[in-house]
Amino acid sequence: MSPLKNEGLHNLFLSVIVVLSYFSKKEGWTMSEQQKAKPEDFDWDNLGFEYHDLPYRFRAYYKDGKWSEGGLETDANIPVNEAATGLHYGQNIFEGLKVYRRKDGGANLFRPDRNAKRLQNSADRLMMAPVPEELFLRALKEVTKANQDFIPPYGTGATLYLRPFEFGGGPVVGVHPADNYVFEVYATPVGAYYKGGLTPTAYVTNHYDRAAHGGTGAAKAGGNYGASMLAGDEAHKAGYSDVVYLDPRLHENIEELGSANFFGITKDGRFLTPKSPSILPSVTKYSLLAVAQELGLEAEETTISINDLDQFAEAGAMGTAAVISPVGSITHQGNKHVFYSETEVGPWTQKLYDRLTAIQYGDQEGPEGWAVDVPLD
């Protein structure tokens, strides 16, 4: 394992922990402690999509206009000043990507440079300190190597999920950016995001907006996801997999499906996915646009009306967590539209899924730079 690297700012945070510990004990409460996970604790074939406290995570700190070198740490808890902008003013952003165990025992990341750039774009939108790509990629590789015993075996369908995130840690009273920031990457083994795997599910529209036109929809900001919970909860209680978000101006054009991007395959062989300034630019989406073209489909980002679903033979949701989840139906204003099937995956959706996952797991060659090897011991 790599040795832990001490950070100057980390010493300050440790002193805060001591103070918090004193007062928490005095008042009769304690910060909850998560038991460290062990590889033997996991049933790799039956993993859920949930958090596990692994031995190591990577942290770096931004202060005085520059990022620290960063390094591995063991404590899953982060002491935060009570006036931190990440708590009060929404300066928190994140990414999500996976480590795939190859058949030869090695490990791949998938297009991590795209995640690095997207985190920088999110930081720019929220006036945060962008994380340099070199620091971002090094953090991913160090966390993966340090927790390599938790990368699920090849063939199980499970992966090691990585969550890079950044938040404003400096104390601020008043709406303006922090001076100090914390960047971390933690890891947790996960199974399929949707339990049914490639099983079609049902979606429904409602009156909620995911993001405002000209707002933060294109940034992977925590506030976007907090605001989506009520809409998703209502959809789940009504028996649907998730909600279909329509554009915030006309409430007519499809934007996203829950926290995933939408795609439809037309009856005349086109792969269409929504284009809008308030949609998160998905790494999976742009990868599938390229894969669709490779497989012979005409691929395009375009406006897709909720009233024009008859053009599609198949439809799906796509993103890092689920890769592809077939959409069996969409219900809008009480009218249910069924795509290929409510019980079976369509042939094009299956082909797209097979090709993309084969690249991710290293079973097939993909475009240069898509599958990135992570050196392990």
Q: Which residues are marked as active site? A: 220
Q: Is 53:41 a contact under the CB 8 Å cutoff? A: no
> How far is it, in rounded angstroms, from Cα 77 to Cα 176?
26
Rounded CA gap, 349 and 264, in Å?
A: 9
The string of DSSP codes covering 211-256 is S-TTTTTTS-BHHHHHHHHHHHHHHHHTT-SEEEEEPTTTS-BEEE
Alpha carbons 316 and 322: distance in angstroms, whole number: 11
Task: Count CB-CB contacts under 10 A for residue 114.
Answer: 19
Largest CA distance in the chain: 69
How far apart CA 253 and CA 275 sit, in angstroms, is 10
Instruction: Give the number of other CB atoms < 10 A from CB of residue 321.
Output: 21
The CA angle 252-321-245, to the nearest 5 degrees, is 10
CA distance 56 to 76: 8
d(CA 67, CA 63): 7
Reduced to 3 states (helix: H, G, I; strand: E, B; else coil), residue 128 is coil
**Residue 236: CB partners within 8 Å, gap ≥ 6?**
242
Extract the tokens encoding 306. 């909720």
Q: Return the amino acid letter for 7.
A: E
